[in-house]
């Protein structure tokens, strides 16, 4: 077996030189790696900046497109709303026109019905007026002379619906002789207010009929139906009260009644 060789100073220096070479090689390798890392970082930063710019451009473009799309949507919505309003107004006007036309037709129908009712009413009123005239002519007027004769007043002439020239008053029945006259008011339903009006008529009588200024003027009121208050007012005013009695009429004032003279 061969004995190991002793380590010399040259060997140590050789080993040191190898270690230094390895250290330098490692340092250069690290510097190269650092340079490459820095280069990679620069490239990455550049790529990131380019990406940021691209993203910002894309974002701005997207925002612009969104704003344009929103404006377009708003404009379309406004246009649609205006069109809807126009259609609604047009529909409302058409509905109004239809309603007015329908109302006009309804009014025309109602007016036609009303004219028919008025015509029928006029016929009925005419018939009532005729019957009323018959009542006055056939019952009250013929009985006046007889009834007043029973009260001691003699008459030889009667007239219906007597009016003066100025038509200020109207007397339903007028009975007269040479010195006396009786003005008679005839009502279907005699009320208290009718009594007041007739007294005013009697007050005006000799003014509008001056030819009777020297006559004694009596008043009488006749009614198919007479209110309780009206009956009292007639008697208190000194008027003759004529009421139906069976098929004729009669003066209902009692025997102590004293007529008023105008």
Q: What is the pLDDT of residue 97?
A: 84
Confidence of residue 2 (pLDDT cuts 50, 70, 90): low
C-alpha distances (whole Å) from 165 to each of 102, 202, 218 are 52, 16, 22
**CA-closest candidate to residue 159, choices 179, 137, 178:** 137
How many CA atoms lie less than 13 Å away from 103 in the CB half-sphere?
6
pLDDT exceeds cutoff 80 at 15: no
Domains and CATH numbers, the chain: 140-251 (3.40.1350.10)
Q: Which residue has the higher pLDDT, 27 or 179?
A: 179
What is the Cα–Cα distance from 141 to 151, expressed in whole angstroms? 16
pLDDT value for 129: 45
Q: Residue 92: what pLDDT?
A: 83
Stretch among 35-49, 96-110, 130-144, 185-199 having the lowest mean pLDDT: 130-144
**Inter-residue contact 155 to 145 (CB < 8 Å):** yes
Residue 4's pLDDT band, with cuts at 50, 70 and 90, is low
CA dihedral 146, 151, 154, 159 (to 10 degrees): -60
């Amino acid at each position: 077996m061969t004995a190991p060789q002793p380590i010399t100073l040259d060997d140590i220096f050789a080993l040191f030189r190898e270690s230094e070479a390895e250290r330098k090689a490692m340092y250069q390798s690290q510097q190269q790696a650092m340079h490459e890392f820095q280069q990679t970082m620069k490239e990455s930063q550049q790529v990131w900046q380019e990406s940021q710019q691209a993203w910002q451009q894309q974002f701005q473009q997207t925002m612009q497109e969104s704003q344009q799309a929103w404006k377009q949507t708003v404009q379309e919505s406004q246009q649609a709303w205006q069109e809807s309003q126009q259609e609604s107004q047009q529909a409302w006007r058409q509905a109004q026109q239809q309603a007015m036309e329908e109302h006009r037709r309804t009014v025309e129908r109602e007016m036609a019905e009303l004219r028919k009712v008025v015509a029928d009413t006029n016929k009925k009123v005419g018939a009532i007026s005729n019957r009323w005239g018959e009542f006055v002519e056939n019952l009250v007027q013929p009985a006046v002379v007889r009834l007043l004769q029973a009260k001691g007043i003699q008459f030889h002439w009667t007239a219906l619906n007597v009016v003066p020239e100025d038509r200020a008053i109207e007397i339903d029945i007028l009975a007269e002789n040479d010195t006396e006259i009786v003005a008679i008011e005839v009502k279907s339903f005699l009320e208290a207010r009718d009594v007041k009006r007739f007294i005013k008529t009697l007050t005006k009588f000799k003014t509008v009929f001056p030819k009777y200024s020297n006559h004694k003027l009596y008043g009488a009121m006749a009614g198919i139906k007479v209110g309780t208050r009206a009956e009292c007012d007639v008697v208190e005013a000194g008027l003759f009260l004529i009421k139906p009695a069976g098929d004729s009429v009669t003066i209902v004032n009692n025997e102590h009644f004293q007529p008023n003279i105008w």
